Chain A
Amino acid sequence: GAGVSQTPSNKVTEKGKYVELRCDPISGHTALYWYRQSLGQGPEFLIYFQGTGAADDSGLPNDRFFAVRPEGSVSTLKIQRTERGDSAVYLCASSSTQGATGELFFGEGSRLTVL
């Protein structure tokens, strides 16, 4: 597609449930990032993929959060045993530049609400 696509755009779930958020990056972009944005805050880094491998997962808050990118394109962020504090907009971004700074193209985000 022309831009980064994220699904679902909105997800409401109950505390304790499992959630998957999907990101389809810009075609050909090898770098993929997940960020989390709470209300009134800037995006907070979660994890970065270069190809299929997670190059930096230092931003994942705990072991309930996991992300995969098995074929080096689409990525899924998985959250187990969701908590109310997980409520936020989860942003995915992709970049065409390997190992150097380059523009990040963001998706519209997936808004997660945990009741």
Chain B
Amino acid sequence: GENVEQHPSTLSVQEGDSAVIKCTYSDSASNYFPWYKQELGKRPQLIIDIRSNVGEKKDQRIAVTLNKTAKHFSLHITETQPEDSAVYFCAASMGGGGNKLTFGTGTQLKVEL
């Protein structure tokens, strides 16, 4: 089955700096790659996703890049703010019947003032 690895496990940045989180996946059939943000004790919430037919997608301060050849994708957050502090999870799916996501182990992002 699919295996998703995520790095780093913790990331601390100064407010206003950029943050980058990287994930690799094992199954070349995967074609959907969402990123979820989870605040402490809260539900995971989708912040951005990308499909295998594009290489990059941007939404305000958040962007995701996908390299299908290398089987890795990354989340980029620019101009970080304290409210960006949370755990971020990448995930991969083969789509088709349902949306069975395989998640990475998460990155604890801390934005310091």
- CB contacts between A and B, total, < 8 Å: 69
Is there contact, CB below 8 Å, between A55 and B93?
no
B99 CB → nearest A CB, Å: 5
Chain A residues 56-106 with CB under 8 Å of chain B are: 56, 59, 91, 95, 97, 99-104, 106
- Type the 1/0 row for A39-53, where 1 means its CB is closer than 8 Å to any CB of B: 011111100101000
Is there contact, CB below 8 Å, between B98 and A55?
yes
A101 in complex: contacting residue of B95, B103, B104, CB < 8 Å: B95
Is there contact, CB below 8 Å, between B43 and A97?
no
Q: Number of contacting residues on B, CB 8 A?
A: 27
Cα separation A103 to B46 with both chains bound (whole Å): 7
Chain B residue nearest in CB terms to A100: B95
The reply on A31 being an interface residue by CB < 8 A is yes
Cα separation A45 to B89 with both chains bound (whole Å): 14
Chain B residue nearest in CB terms to A41: B105
The reply on B18 being an interface residue by CB < 8 A is no
User: Could you say which residues of chain A place their CB within 8 Å of the CB of B91?
Assistant: 42
Is there contact, CB below 8 Å, between B106 and A42?
yes
Cα separation A23 to B18 with both chains bound (whole Å): 37
B43 in complex: contacting residue of A33, A59, A99, A108, CB < 8 Å: A108
Cα separation A39 to B42 with both chains bound (whole Å): 13
| Contact status of A95 and B99, CB under 8 A, knowing A41-B106, A42-B91, A106-B45 | yes
User: Could you say which residues of chain A place their CB within 8 Å of the CB of B98?
Assistant: 31, 33, 48, 50, 55-56, 99
The reply on A109 being an interface residue by CB < 8 A is yes
Q: Which of A91, A99, A100, A101 has the most CB of B within 10 A?
A: A101
Is there contact, CB below 8 Å, between A40 and B103?
no
Which positions in B face A, CB cutoff 8 Å? 4, 6, 31-32, 34, 42-46, 49, 51, 89, 91, 93, 95-106
With A42-B103, A101-B31, A103-B46 already in contact, 4 other A-B pairs whose C-beta atoms are closer than 8 Å:
A41-B106, A55-B97, A102-B99, A104-B101
